Structure 1
Amino acid sequence: IPLDFSKQEGEKRTAFAFYCAVRERLPAWLLEDMRTMEVFCWDDGQPRAFLPSEALLYTLVHDHQDYARHLLSRYSVSALRAPRCSFCCRVGSGAQHLNVAVRYNRLVILDMILETLKDCSQDERQQYLDSCGGCTHVADAGKTAVQLAVELSQDNCLLLLLAQGARPAGLDAALQRLVSSDASERQQAQRCLDLLLLFLSNPSPPRCLQDEPQRWQSLLGNEVFTWLCGLAPPPLLFQALRCLVQSGLDPISSLPNFLQLHSWQ
């Protein structure tokens, strides 16, 4: 690299070198040496090493599970701090790592992140799980990881989040996703809706059910429809399965078909 390259070009080259190294899934120890000694980015005109939280974002993009495990085990929750936004240079906010994990469907690393959050206090953990995306110009700004999982029909990510206590938001989006999905995605959309319903205690009646009651009663069944409209208690099957779903889909999958929600049969 020439010695007279501009700051912007130097930053791009060093950042890209680290990006490529993670993409090639080099060993965690080598990536840490690069992060702390060889590659750098600029903050207010000054070069600095990449933060663990920035490196963790790279591991999510490229599914480098070994490096993610190293970062989370060594730096714990500090690796989950929102990094500085590369567009506006402001310190980020929200649970950016959760949203990226959902968008790329990185189940293994998402599970590592959720386990790491157990090192936080209950209030801090809950706030992190339910926080929205960062700056307004970012694609997932204003959305929680749960809402994003519903919009993308990432049912397995949604289950991990809900089982760890994330707020079951996005019921309206789940209903709309159910009717707008094509045949190849409809099962995942139905699963997302079922999961939300299992974790919802007192859902507010969605507006779409009031606008087209006959259509939704046919799609959801009378028991679920009347419950969501506030006209009846939750179906007995939903109440019974709420205990089992806390530990994942496997206990439900092992039940006889008549005891399963129809989308999981």
Structure 2
Amino acid sequence: MPWLLSSQLDYVSSSPSERQCERTAFSFYCSVRERLPVWLLEDMRCMEVFCWDDGHPRAFLPSEALLYALIHDHQDYAQYLLNRYSVSALRAPRCSYCCCRGSGAPHLNIAVRYDRLVILGMMMAALKNCGEQTKRQDYLDSCGGCSHVADAGKSAVQLAVELSHADCLLLLLVEGARPDGLDAALQRLVSCDVSKRHHAQRCLDYLLLFLPKPPLLQRLQDEPQRWQSLLGNKVFSWLQGVAPPPLLLQALRSLVQFGADRISLLPDFLQLHSW
């Protein structure tokens, strides 16, 4: 439990061996936080015992080390773990709270929550190289996780919409994640602070780029004048199913297939807010 202070560890466990594991776990956490060299972190992870699991000590798994690298944005360590262990570094670790087997895609959610765009790109590359399209898709769209975890039941796309992390959202969508969360994106647009509205608008625009067809949303039917003024006539009519998608939207859909960076390179009058 590396989030505990060292002065608290003696009161957590009764076993001296378990207390020693907790101390070394906290030491490893601090070492990743300080962004020590990769070779030193791997020596610590492989040669020391950190975890107490089912009454036995064990070393940290690569997937557990990657979670620490994500939290503290240690990009060199994340790159090493993904290069060395590939998709096995993305396996969900066993939950330390309820001891259930790991499920879902916690690394994706943590990358989105902490807005670790560079490491998220590394993870997407590792998934692309695994060669198993079905498993890759399941991982991208996973909503698993234990019920006591903050982001349980949310996919990485849904979390990116909720937090207005537009760059993470675009990267996920370009890599094939399901474009869920349009209703949440609309709600976010009208409820967020003015300072965050630009990012919320970008999230909405990116979802529209990847929607195969607009879903029927009750909020658009309940307040048509309000949403028509916010979205513009063309987008609103398309979402209502009474008009084809705007021409700029169709053009940008083709462009974005060549990479997430293509949109940002466009001049301002061709950006998504222009349609």
> Residues 158-186 of structure 1, C-alpha deviation per residue, up to 9 Å, x if partnerless?
01100100000000110001001111100
d(CA) in 2 for partners of 1:247, 1:70: 27
Could you say what secondary structure the match of 1:237 adopts? helix
Q: For 1:1-265, list aligned pairs within 5 A.
A: 6-120=16-130, 121-248=132-259, 250-262=261-273
CA contact (8 A) 2:22 2:50 kept: no
What is the CA RMSD across the aligned residues, in angstroms? 1.9
d(CA) in 2 for partners of 1:29, 1:263: 49
d(CA) in 2 for partners of 1:133, 1:202: 26
d(CA) in 2 for partners of 1:261, 1:82: 36
The TM-score with structure 2 as length reference comes to 0.91
d(CA) in 2 for partners of 1:226, 1:113: 37
The Cα of 1:249 is off from its aligned counterpart by 5.2
d(CA) in 2 for partners of 1:71, 1:263: 41
CA contact (8 A) 1:187 1:263 kept: no
Could you say what secondary structure the match of 2:52 adopts? strand
Percent identity over the alignment is: 74
Could you say what secondary structure the match of 2:213 adopts? coil
Q: Which moved more, 1:245-254 or 1:168-177?
A: 245-254
Q: What letter matches 1:111 in structure 2?
A: G
Q: What letter matches 1:212 in structure 2?
A: E
CA contact (8 A) 1:60 1:101 kept: yes
Q: How many residues align?
A: 263
Could you say what secondary structure the match of 1:29 adopts? helix
> Residues 22-80 of structure 1, C-alpha deviation per residue, up to 9 Å, x if partnerless?
00111111111111111321110000010000000000000001111110000001000
| Inter-CA distance 94–76: structure 2 relative to 1 (3 Å threshold) | same
Could you say what secondary structure the match of 1:20 adopts? helix
The TM-score with structure 1 as length reference comes to 0.94
Could you say what secondary structure the match of 2:65 adopts? helix
d(CA) in 2 for partners of 1:191, 1:202: 19
CA contact (8 A) 2:78 2:119 kept: yes
d(CA) in 2 for partners of 1:43, 1:254: 49
Structure 1: stretches of 5+ with no match in the other structure: none
d(CA) in 2 for partners of 1:13, 1:226: 60
The Cα of 1:248 is off from its aligned counterpart by 4.2
| Inter-CA distance 109–250: structure 2 relative to 1 (3 Å threshold) | closer
